[in-house]
Chains A and B, each alone.
Chain A
């Protein structure tokens, strides 16, 4: 596939949606596919992929935590040289597995008994945000902009997308800006705010809900003080906590925020003039239709 610039080679990736994007985060999946199509990125789903093991695997057994991602990376290698991941938690687990296989002899030797580990090491694991900034570039994003959303956005990166930098190999771990760069290029205003990378409690959403409510309330409060219209996220776990827990925060802590949470792909898609239905707009629990209507976003 040719990009408009003509000089860049076709972008083809083995796409690893991960469990969330096929369930609670279908809207992230839908908007990713729509935006990828608009940008001419070719996504081939990793054949018969399985769960990466997520937090429960690395809490339980380091070998299993490396083996599940490794097997998926090997499968990804059969369809492309680079693997595209949208979920920050999956991204983290895949990158960690590669690092552990490389650095820990014990893991490498054991895994090599059950799979060709070098194949898992040879694939490049990329997060969608990174691909959009590095391979597509903000100029192209700006070119594709069809409508001005007029939104003031707080970009929330969460923990695992940038941390630890030795593993993720992405932008600044304390004050990342690449999501801001993308949304700015697409005509939105983003704000500097201190809670970009604060933890939302991720996997404790079910188990220690009260901790999550406290952490999420802090994040929402900071966003509110930055006077934004909405928050943009790049991870289904962040989205689940920030969106789904707002009603509990109202009930249990008496704090009312009603801040719509979007995936950055949904915001980009709307700026590109893509149909909202194709971007999964309206699937979140906090209503966003009112905001979109008020801004005249179609």
Chain B
């Protein structure tokens, strides 16, 4: 049987965006699988890390952007450190996550994306992480109200949980969030789609 794979299918434009964002050449990977062998989370992923690269090499970008794998990657940098071809796979995962958010693709790992969102919103609001609110909002968002709640009083009595946020870093964080939003929306850029992430 004859298969025809068109160039546009193998190298859609978005691959270039992924390569620019990650600073990696997707073609360098020779599929040895070392990244997946050492990945601590591989067992929980729907597709092991090396196959994510393979999907990109074959032009299956939409599929890659919808994988659980990209959200379960813990950014532990093991793959990046060990790759014999010096592919920075953790950077590719970051690029895929960034693009998935920009495109508004629904994450199959909702808890992870929700956590990220709440985390950044507390940083934006207070300048520093405020654990009480972070955990409270996360539990509310996942409808799992009492998760880890037995830990709170223990941590509190050990002096490790604050009841009120600290506002000292607020000005700095606020400025950064505002400025980043401004430069992202100014001028025609290659990734100028409005960010839905933050």
Contacts and interface: CB of A to CB of B under 8 A. Distances in A.
A133 B183 CA distance: 41
Contact of A24 (B76, B128, B160, B177): B160
Contacts of B85: none
Contacts of A54: 119, 129
Contacts, number: 180
A152 to B, nearest CB: 25
Nearest to A30: B159
Q: Give the size range of A's interface with the partner.
A: 35 or more
A25 B160 contact: yes
Interface string A26-59: 1100000000000000000000111101111111
Contacts of A72: 172
A25 to B, nearest CB: 7
Interface stretch (B5-13, B27-35, B56-64, B147-155): B147-155
Q: Give the size range of B's interface with the partner.
A: 35 or more
A61 B180 contact: yes
A203 interface: yes
A228 interface: no
Contacts of B160: 23-27, 283
B172 A50 contact: yes
B129 A51 contact: yes
13 contacts: A24-B155, A24-B160, A26-B160, A49-B172, A51-B128, A55-B116, A58-B94, A60-B97, A61-B101, A199-B74, A199-B76, A206-B147, A208-B44
Given A19-B129, A51-B127, A164-B90, 11 more contacts: A51-B169, A57-B120, A57-B123, A58-B75, A60-B98, A60-B197, A64-B198, A71-B172, A206-B138, A284-B158, A285-B158
List of 3 A-B pairs having minimum Cβ-Cβ separation, nearest first: A50-B169, A56-B116, A114-B179
